[in-house]
Chain A
Amino acid sequence: MKRRLLRGSLAPPENDSRSLLDAQRRDLPGEATMRRYRDDDEVDVCVVGAGAGGSVLAQRLARRGWSVVVLEAGPFWHPDRDWVSDEAGSHHLYWTERRVIGGTDPVELGKNNSGRGVGGSMVHFAGYVPRFHPSDFCTRTLDGVGADWPLRYPELAAHYERVELELPVAGQHWPWGDPHDYPHAPHPVSQAAQVVWRGAERLGIRMRVGPVAIVNGTFGNRPHCIYRGFCLQGCKVGAKASPLVTHLPDALAHGAEIRADCMASRVVLDSSGRASGVSYFARGELAERRQRARLVALACYSIETPRLLLNSAAPGFPGGLCNNEDQVGRYVMVQGATQSAGRFPDELRMYKGPPPEVSSEDFYETDPGRGFARGFSIQTVSPLPIGWAEHVAAEGHWGRGLREYMRDYNHWTTVGVLNEFLPQAENRVTLADDRDAHGLPVARFDHGLGENDRANQEYSGRIARHILEAAGAQDVLTIRRYAHLIGGARMGTAPDHSVVDRWQRTWAVENLYIADGSVCPTQGSANPALTIMALASRLAEHLAGRPPAA
């Protein structure tokens, strides 16, 4: 497991996406010639959602000769034309249809954490791809909080390594969790991130460059990063990983169909209680359609997977499919993502370079001396002007005061934390009274923090401030916020506390699987993308019934 990878030009096994890409155009090759199935073809698997989980599953299974249809609610992107180097102009990358948020600490959705379209949220994720720590899989046993997973880290380690090669991940040797190396060398560090690094160093906090899913070397036709800073607006360059460039080219080359602009409305069961397909609305068509499938895998993430199950009530499942134990939509988690910005005499121009630069997991594990269980990670970020305006406004500035801080933009650098908030049954997705354009009830997400969560948030906020002060910050501005989603259909050892088993198969329907981040019982303080992909990779290997050729 402690295998050391050779750096540079290592090729991932069984994934030719990098060479299938066109070096001069960003369109996904193969869209025009993609195999297309009819609704009444009984395909081997119908995957709902073309994001991190669904795309990896589709690519793996298409490679094994499975017939695959992926339904995706959003569009098939043509980045040269559809994406722009601009904050406000990137609004269409997010899931902007209405959802209702409530609870004592509501979580804003939309651009903050929700994607739409082929490639999913990774199209606009920052690019940080740390692994979960081995401890994340058994926090109940180790720390008396959260939940134990029905699998342990070693079962996922090979898939982490494989996905890191496929993205590929650039970064320094990683000393935390299960120590490991990355296939690509660390990127150069921007001036704004260097300042944070210096502050951390003075406090004895270890920082490392990366890990980011941004090409830094030779990798087929994927170009090198140009450090333009718009990772969160969709990488027009193609250097940052998303399934659009990492897995879907290979999936299409092996006969998978990505059916974009198709909003799944319900999972359909046959008279024996097996899933027989998925109903959906294709854009521009009024009549509901139905794709037949031998097996159904949901990969719509923590809000939409529970919503789809709850909208799929059927005889025998009056309160929503797989919900007879009242577990669907529960234990949805977000991470605390407080960001602190520090002011310095020199211009730092934090918009230059990728927002993800350097990070630390020195505070990841439980330290009884801190007074709360589990911990947080530290990562540099770099808001663009609209993000920076929201940061300044969060401290109550408006009018002239706001404009003054805004004009000072180039003198600031920003460091964020990711707190591991603990799973709570009442943090859950239910159906709201509001309906979408198809008449389907939209999701409502209620969220509240626990005592441990608040203590973690407070402590980590102080550390971020100390780092900036140690670096010599003259002024500090802080915004409290949340990031990422996980949970909502968690895996477990019995149906009374979970929705799926250790192989992500729903307890209630034998040929219905969940292949996204909603299956995670805990979240650590790592960004979830890599783990979602690794879990989908493991699931694919299980479904195909044999391990991948090395």
Chain B
Amino acid sequence: MPEIRLGEHLPNLRADHRPPHPSWLPRQRRGTTAQMIGRYPDYDVMENASSWDRATREVVEARLRPPSRMRFFGPSEEPTMRALCDTLLAQDRDPKVPVSEMVDSDLAEGKEDGFRYADMPPDETTWRLVLAGMDGLARRADWPDFAAASEPLREEVVGRFAAAELAAETLGGLNPERAFLVCMRWVLSAFYSHPWAWNEIGFGGPAYPRGYMRMSGVGLLEPHERPGATSEDPVGLAREWDE
């Protein structure tokens, strides 16, 4: 098990620059996280919801309702979209934050972020071209489509996409680097707006009108916070306490 204080779980600090398999993480004991893993096993941000103002509570609680059916992506795009979002965010098992539905809903409603790169089409078009590109790359490796492809193949394709190693032709002529950033901008703002993701990372969530105590010292917790997981062996600790 990596030593958390030393950051041994962080890719940059590891010899192979890859994260450890997530099986090292504690299972969530309280509330829900994506894949039920996280660093704050006893923390559920929704337990604080009664201290939030009504407008905020409505916005956050709406994200926990079952997602609506996809409206922007068609039936042939839907599995590819799910597989791409799952791979980008390593959501490899249930429960999953419904990122593809969240993105679909915003695209269907014409949400814009206030800019379009001069050498890029609108984001709606970018998404469709990217999905077609993912399917094309999977077929080139003899899979029926991206969603049916093996996990290693999907990771390899997305890895090349992330590293801007895909040729523009594979993405319908899109600038591959910018196309990846467009996809990430949408999926990250969906995933990390979800309370399950806040539980996983120990984010305090909305804090109005309660607020925080006036700047505590390092390591001081407030009553509504929970400590992060540590790396001690619980069996050993229990033994020490017994002795």
- A residues with CB within 8 A of B: 80-89, 91, 94-102, 106, 108-111, 114, 187-191, 194-195, 226-230, 236-237, 343, 345-349, 351-353, 384-386, 388-390, 393, 396-411, 434, 444, 446, 474-475, 477
The number of residue pairs between A and B whose CB atoms lie closer than 8 Å in the complex comes to 231
Residues of chain B contacted by A83 (CB below 8 angstroms)? 55
Is the beta-carbon distance between A85 and B90 smaller than 8 angstroms?
A: no
Q: Which residues of B177-192 are within 8 A (CB) of A?
A: 184-185, 188-192
Complex Cα distance, B163 from A109, in Å, reads 24
Among the listed B11, B200, B220, B228, which residue makes an inter-chain contact with A401, where contact means beta carbons less than 8 Å apart? B11
Which single residue of chain B is at the shortest CB-CB distance from A116? Answer: B114
Complex Cα distance, B40 from A408, in Å, reads 10
Complex Cα distance, B112 from A100, in Å, reads 12
Complex Cα distance, B114 from A97, in Å, reads 5
Residues of chain A contacted by B205 (CB below 8 angstroms)? 85
Is the beta-carbon distance between A475 and B113 smaller than 8 angstroms?
A: no
B155 to chain A, nearest CB (A): 7
Q: A83-B55, A228-B208, A230-B207 are in contact. Are A98 and B114 (CB under 8 A)?
A: yes
Q: Give the interface segment out of B68-76, B115-123, B137-145, B235-243.
A: B115-123
6 contacts between A and B (CB under 8 A): A94-B114, A96-B112, A97-B112, A226-B208, A398-B162, A407-B25
What total of chain B residues lie within 8 Å of the partner, measured CB to CB? 73
Determine which residue in A80, A188, A228 has the highest number of CB atoms from chain B within 10 A of its CB, and name it: A228
Is the beta-carbon distance between B89 and A399 smaller than 8 angstroms?
A: yes
Residues of chain B contacted by A189 (CB below 8 angstroms)? 215
Is the beta-carbon distance between B118 and A100 smaller than 8 angstroms?
A: yes
Residues of chain B contacted by A108 (CB below 8 angstroms)? 115
Complex Cα distance, B197 from A474, in Å, reads 24
Q: Render B209-228 as a binary contact track against A, CB cut-off 8 A, 1 for contact.
A: 11111111111100001011
Residues of chain A contacted by B193 (CB below 8 angstroms)? 86-89, 385-386
Is the beta-carbon distance between B198 and A385 smaller than 8 angstroms?
A: yes
Is the beta-carbon distance between B89 and A351 smaller than 8 angstroms?
A: no
Is the beta-carbon distance between B55 and A82 smaller than 8 angstroms?
A: yes
Is the beta-carbon distance between B203 and A99 smaller than 8 angstroms?
A: no
What 8 A-B pairs come out closest when comparing CB atoms? A110-B114, A226-B211, A102-B118, A85-B206, A88-B193, A228-B207, A188-B215, A404-B19
**Is B173 part of the contact surface with A, judged by Cβ < 8 Å?**
no
Complex Cα distance, B117 from A408, in Å, reads 32
B85 to chain A, nearest CB (A): 11
Residues of chain B contacted by A84 (CB below 8 angstroms)? 53, 55-56, 59, 206
B129 to chain A, nearest CB (A): 18
Is the beta-carbon distance between B201 and A99 smaller than 8 angstroms?
A: no
Q: A346-B219, A396-B162, A398-B162 are in contact. Are A407 and B39 (CB under 8 A)?
A: yes
Q: Which residues of B7-39 are within 8 A (CB) of A?
A: 7, 9-13, 18-20, 22, 25, 38-39
Q: A85-B206, A407-B201 are in contact. Are A347 and B211 (CB under 8 A)?
A: no
Is the beta-carbon distance between B162 and A85 smaller than 8 angstroms?
A: no
**Is B87 part of the contact surface with A, judged by Cβ < 8 Å?**
yes
Q: A96-B112, A398-B184, A407-B200 are in contact. Are A106 and B22 (CB under 8 A)?
A: no
Q: A94-B114, A343-B10, A403-B89 are in contact. Are A86 and B189 (CB under 8 A)?
A: no
